[in-house]
Amino acid sequence: MYFLNSQMLYLMPVAAILAGLLVFVNWRRRQALHRAFGQWDLLSQTSQPLPGSRYFARAALAALTAALLLFALARPIVPNGDKTIAEGTFDVLAVVDVSRSMAALDYEGKVPPTAVAKQLIEPEHLLTNQGRPIPQKGKAGIDNDAGTRLEMVRHMLLDSVIKQLDGNQLGVVSYAGSAFPQAFLTRDAAALKWVVDRGLTISSAPGEGSGMAKALELALAMFDADSPADHERLLVLFSDGGNDDKPEQLAAFASEAKKRGIKVVVVAMGNVMPSKIPVSKLASDDDAAIALKDNGKRWLETDGQIEKSGMNASLLQNLANQAGGKFIHLENASDLNLLDQVGKTSMARVPGSVELFPWALGGALVCLVLTFAATNQWRRRKQS
Residue-wise pLDDT for 193-245, tens only, equals 999 988 899 988 998 889 999 999 999 999 999 998 888 899 999 999 999 99
pLDDT tens by residue, 299-312 = 988 888 888 999 99
Report the pLDDT value the prediction gives residue 138, as an integer from 0 to 100. Answer: 39
Local confidence band at 376 (pLDDT 50, 70, 90 cut-offs): low
pLDDT at 131 over 50: no
Alpha helices in the chain (DSSP H): 12-37, 40-46, 52-73, 149-156, 162-164, 189-199, 212-226, 247-260, 287-294, 313-322, 357-373
pLDDT at 87 over 70: no
Report the pLDDT value the prediction gives residue 335, as an integer from 0 to 100. Answer: 87
Local confidence band at 119 (pLDDT 50, 70, 90 cut-offs): very low
- CB-based burial label for 251 (10 Å; 0-12, 13-18, 19+): middle
For the beta sheet containing 76-85, the strands, ordered from the edge strand earlier in sequence to the opposite edge, are 2-3, 76-85, 347-355
Report the pLDDT value the prediction gives residue 221, as an integer from 0 to 100. Answer: 95
DSSP 220-253: HHHHHHH--TTSEEEEEEEE-S---S-HHHHHHH
Local confidence band at 326 (pLDDT 50, 70, 90 cut-offs): very high
Q: What domains appear along the chain, each with residue ranges and CATH number?
A: 2-74+354-380 (no CATH), 83-342 (3.40.50.410)
Local confidence band at 136 (pLDDT 50, 70, 90 cut-offs): very low
pLDDT at 140 over 50: no
Answer whether 0.75 is exceeded by the pTM. Answer: no
pLDDT tens by residue, 3-50 = 777 778 888 888 888 888 888 887 778 777 766 766 666 666 666 666
pLDDT at 133 over 50: no
Tell me 110's DSSP state: T
pLDDT at 273 over 60: yes
Task: Please state, in angstroms and rounded to a whole number, the distance separating the CA atoms of residues 210 and 316.
Answer: 13
Q: Are 115 and 158 in contact (CB under 8 A)?
A: yes
pLDDT tens by residue, 146-174 = 889 999 999 999 988 888 887 889 999 99
